[in-house]
Amino acid sequence: MRILLVCILTGALLAGPLPGATAWSASKSAGAPYHHVIPELPSKLSICGQPVPLGRPMVRDYLDRELVIAVHDPAQTIMWLKRAGRYFPYIEKRLKAARLPDDLKYVAVAESALIHYIRSPAGAVGFWQFIPATGRRYGLRINRWFDDRRNLRLATTAALAYLKDLRGQLGSWPLSLAAYNCGESRVKKEMAEQGTRDYFDLALPMETQRYVYRILAAKLVITSPERYGYALPSAAYWKPIPSQSVTLRLKRPQHLTVVARAAGISYRQLKELNPELRRRYLPRGRVAIQVPPGKAAGLAARLGRAGPPPKGASPDKYVVKRGDNLSSIARRHGVSLSDLREVNDLDDNLIQPGQRLKIPEK
């Protein structure tokens, strides 16, 4: 009897067992047999160079669960593979330069499935899923203009620094990964109370109990996709998008359409190259952005000739903070006090914290 497997590449049915899987057959009530692929666990496995104790039944059970879930979620796993083609080369380069284990790249898969805009119910955002407090602690801008958690380069810098710090505090990579998920304080508390420094022996919150195994499942499938039924040709993997950095010194906020026009690209292309940008404007001051290769030279000069924002462009807005006054806000944005009052329909200069002001075009 043929074993029918789902061919991930084409959606067609292929015959033959996987080298790393066995087949299980059962009968529906109608009597027609159907088949499931059950991925086999490897005989040996490590995480960041540390052996995984697969001889322990509980360890095997947890890994088995996460591997089955990964293998039988074809849409997600295909997208893991495709996105890895785009983002892994940069992450691998950074890990090598920092002399950190290559396996840490799978943390980003487990955290975000390599989606830059993903947001958790707890408020964690981006490739490496930083909550605001931890992101700011590691130098990421999270404000009205920028959310660096969505920028692969900046977020990877912060994530590697955080992981390195955790390794220094906890002494092992599995414990460090657990702490990345639930916090170093919780892991230290549980180690002290339970009397063990072995992640694979610790009772932790269920999400953290599964976390390292989810990373291991991602490693197994992405490292050897064919073993688990995923045979993508090289052309199917997304390619890295080349870009270069340019620093602009802006006297006032600049609409992104004008910046894109000066760079010879579309508004959407500019946003996709700079996913950390939260508004339709760049702020006043020194701002570094990514543009396509060859577009950085002379961009500042072209920006001065790029013309006004499009008609009907949404005005920039500013939330009044304690200590602000209308004159200082006007100076900060390079507009006149009278224009600022007029666009906000203000009869006087009285404003209050939390008030939203429209910033007029200069």
Domains and CATH numbers, the chain: 4-38 (no CATH), 46-236 (1.10.530.10), 241-312 (no CATH), 315-362 (3.10.350.10)
Q: Which one of the listed residues 111, 184, 193, 342 is annotated catalytic?
A: 111
Q: Which of 146, 185, 188 is nearest to 275 (CA)?
A: 146
* Cβ neighbours of residue 345 closer than 8 Å, sequence gap 6 or more: none
Give the residues of the chain that fall short of pLDDT 50.
Answer: 1-17, 23-30, 32-34
Can 111 be counted among the known catalytic residues?
Answer: yes
Residue-wise pLDDT for 166-206, tens only, equals: 999 999 999 999 999 999 999 999 999 999 999 999 999 99
Please tell me the predicted confidence (pLDDT) of residue 59.
97
DSSP SS3 for 41: coil
Which long-range contacts (C-beta less than 8 Å, at least 24 apart) are formed by 68-72?
68/38, 68/39, 69/217, 70/214, 70/217, 70/218, 70/220, 70/221, 70/228, 71/21, 71/37, 71/39, 71/221, 71/228, 71/229, 72/36, 72/37
Backbone angles phi, psi at 164, to 5 degrees: -65, -40
Strand partners of residue 34: 26
C-alpha span between 75 and 113 (Å, rounded): 11
Please tell me the predicted confidence (pLDDT) of residue 12.
38
Tokens representing residue 216 in the block: 């291991």
Please tell me the predicted confidence (pLDDT) of residue 4.
34
CB atoms within 10 A of CB 360: 18
Provide the CA 111 distance to its chain's centre, in angstroms: 8
Tokens representing residue 126 in the block: 């981006």
